[in-house]
């Protein structure tokens, strides 16, 4: 019976529950200097990066969803896919934590605009 469960994908053959890890993507977080909108970007290691002598480069024109201002950027990475340098016009790079805080602030502002103030 155990053989049939394993063969047909029973409980013994189940994958452990866990968070998905994207091994092919590199994530960048940018904030627009004009409107303050945060943008999360994914660069695919295989398709989006240009192979250079000592590493890789990534060229992208970023557009946020609020003011649609183009933000051209160039990121240089070493052979281990670590950021060595970055240039951006019209925005600045932020950390993942800063990006998530921006999302939380935007969600709170939307919630406050929709919900009436509590009555006393």
User: What are phi and psi for residue 35, nearest 5 degrees?
Assistant: -105, -10
pLDDT value of residue 6:
54
State the alpha helices, DSSP H only, in 2-95: 2-8
- Separation in Å, CA 65 to CA 2, 11, 58, 92, 109: 53, 44, 21, 16, 17
pLDDT value of residue 8:
56
pLDDT band of 113, cuts 50, 70, 90: confident
Stated pTM of the model: 0.76
pLDDT tens digit sequence for 43-79: 999 999 999 989 999 999 999 999 999 999 999 999 9
| Mean pLDDT in residue range 95-111 | 93
Domain boundaries, the chain: 23-113
pLDDT tens digit sequence for 6-35: 555 555 545 556 788 899 999 999 999 999
pLDDT value of residue 1:
53
């Amino acid at each position: 019976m155990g053989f049939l469960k394993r063969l047909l994908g029973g409980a013994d053959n189940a994958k452990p529950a866990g968070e998905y890890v994207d091994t092919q993507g590199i994530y960048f977080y940018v904030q627009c200097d004009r409107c303050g909108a945060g943008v999360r970007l994914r660069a695919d290691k295989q398709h989006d990066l240009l192979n250079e002598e000592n590493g890789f480069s990534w060229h992208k024109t970023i557009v946020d969803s609020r003011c649609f201002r183009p933000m051209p950027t160039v990121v240089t990475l070493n052979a281990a896919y670590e950021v060595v340098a970055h240039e951006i016009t019209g925005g600045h790079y932020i950390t993942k934590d800063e990006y998530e805080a921006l999302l939380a602030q935007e969600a709170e502002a939307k919630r406050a605009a929709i919900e009436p103030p509590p009555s006393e």
